[in-house]
Amino acid sequence: MMIFFHERLAFLAVPKTGTSALERALSPKASAVFRDPPGMKHTNARGFERKYRKLFERGNLAPLETMALMREPVDWLGSWYRYRQRPALNGHQNSTDGISFDDFVAAYLRADQPPYADVGSQARFLTDSGGDLLVNHVFSYGDFPAAVRFLEQRLNCEISLKPVNQSPKRDLVLSRELQQELHKRHALDFEIFAALQDGPLSVS
């Protein structure tokens, strides 16, 4: 999470959506950068409203707007799966080494998720308890340049990105049955992402 106090913007870091690269590029411009622990770095929209908004509201200043990126849900899970296959996690409870992508997604869909599949939900990150979008500006990870253009205009700066935390390359195939179950159980994720295909989403 990054706060741009003077520009009245809070960048909320949905995991696995290129946020580390943006953080590296924009840290010098930010008024505050929350890097650790991971739960604070990846504070979701509800957490921001509950814990942090009042810290940055002052007098007659305009309220902070929030922005975030969202990734296609299966691709997002694939990024988590690949990231947790890195050798540094071998032997750790979060490692997906030796686990197929089908098994990873099946574990993600369980009520009692094992640690390696406990990665949250993008829809939950972005919405309130009623499922309504809580972030002012949401961009598709598939149109990353649109998010960069928004930030460059809003922050009045040029952004140069370098790859950070890239996951190992893997060919991922998900069975039709798990595809269908994932769509059913996480319908809101797919609904929000489908809406992003017409362009960034904005709420007042």
**What pLDDT shows up at residue 33?**
94
**What pLDDT shows up at residue 23?**
93
Residues 192, 133 contacting (CB under 8 angstroms): yes
Taking residues 166-189, report their average pLDDT: 89
Nearest-Å Rg of the Cα atoms of the chain is 17
55-62: long-range pairs with CB below 8 Å, 24+: 56/3, 56/5, 56/10, 61/8, 62/8
pLDDT tens-digit profile of 26-63? 999 999 999 888 778 899 999 999 999 998 887 788 89
pTM: 0.92
Q: How many Cβ atoms are within 10 Å of 45's Cβ, its own excluded? A: 22
pLDDT > 90: percent of the chain: 83
